[in-house]
Amino acid sequence: MQDLAIIISTTLMYSTPLIYTALGGVFSENSGIINIGLEGMMTVGAFAGATAGYFTGNPWIAFLIGGIAGMLFALIHAVATINFNADHTISGVAINLLAPGLSLFLAKILFDGATTTPTIPMENKMPRIFANIFPSGGILDTIFNNYATVYIAFILVAVVYYVLYKTKFGLRIRAVGEHPGAADTLGINVSRVRYSGVLISGFLAGLGGASMSLALVSSFRPTLVSGQGYIAMAAVIFGKWRPQWAALACLLFGFSTALSVYFGSPTLPFTINENLLSMIPYIVTLIVLILFVKSSKAPSALGNPYKKGER
């Protein structure tokens, strides 16, 4: 049972950054803007969060700064795709190239040529809100003694669901993603709504990156995100652009990572090549996309530029 508890705890830990980022993708893509740039927004969020955490010593401020950094890069994507009708995929790929490059450049300037940020002391990482609640070393302690970012992520799933399906703002987000011309005739400012969707997307992706550098590890390094943004994008597709299903997809991908960590443990009576283990999350992602992408129906206007007055 203890081994199962370890796998569950690890699943929650590794799925958390994916959940934040996938929820961001749900917002952007329901508004009609493809956001391939989630990977880059996560990267810059991770760097900004780690840097702010080191200088301020306050993980909550650093977490917020990580989200804001992701939002600033989302603003670039919004201007390119909404104002200039740039191809969404090309804009997103450009962000994925720009974000890690800028992060490394700033890291070298701020930390004397280093490509990683200094390690954040344990007391300045995100807190474990259920620490010392359950008997130490027990099953419940193993499962629930996770960082606060884990529980915030699951709260956000409910919040995003409520916003998208129970509020006027959410209805407008989905309307401009399905039929922007019809939304325009009803007096909805399509550009403004899409800007909101993309900026929220960047903020949440930035939080996803910051949750990695402030909780999962204690610093930023060039390989920290390493494809997590693309996995979150796959979770959005697998989850059929709905927050609750996207979160479940993230748990699946987090579980695959947890298995790779568990089977890489030196305490097991057998060994598996670490390169094969590191492939597990990406193999699962590919299999899921192959099996389910055809059954997923994207918002009708996803990826289509819109000019006011068009029908």
Domain boundaries, the chain: 2-295
DSSP result, 230-281:
HHHHHHHHHTTT-HHHHHHHHHHHHHHHHHHHHHT-TTSSS---HHHHHHHH
Average pLDDT, the chain: 92
pTM over 0.85: yes
Res. 311: pLDDT tops 60: no
What are the structure tokens assigned to 131, written together? 């620490």
Sign of the alpha-carbon torsion through 166, 60, 250, 135? negative
* Count of C-beta atoms within a 10 Å radius of residue 85: 12
Q: What is the pLDDT of residue 239?
A: 93
Task: Give the pLDDT of residue 116.
Answer: 94
Domain 2-295: assigned CATH number: 1.10.3470
**Residues whose CB falls within 8 Å of the CB of residue 14, separated by 6 or more in sequence, listed in order:** 216, 254, 257, 258, 261
37-63 residue pLDDT tens = 999 999 999 999 999 999 999 999 999
Q: What are phi and psi of 172, to 5 degrees?
A: -70, -40
Check residue 305 and give its pLDDT.
Answer: 87
**How does pLDDT run across 253-310, given as a tens digit for each residue?**
999 999 888 887 766 666 777 777 788 888 888 888 787 777 778 899 999 888 776 5
Q: Tokens 């129970």 belong to which residue?
A: 166
pLDDT of residue 45: 98
- Beta carbons of 270 and 177 less than 8 angstroms apart: no
Could you tell me the CA-to-CA distances from 178 to 30, 79, 303 in Å, in that order?
A: 8, 21, 11
- Spatial separation of the C-alpha atoms in residues 142 and 167, rounded to whole Å: 37
| Per-residue confidence (pLDDT) for residue 73, from 0 to 100 | 97
Q: Which two tokens stand for residue 150?
A: 């884990």
pLDDT single digits (tens) 196-225:
999 999 999 999 999 999 999 999 999 999
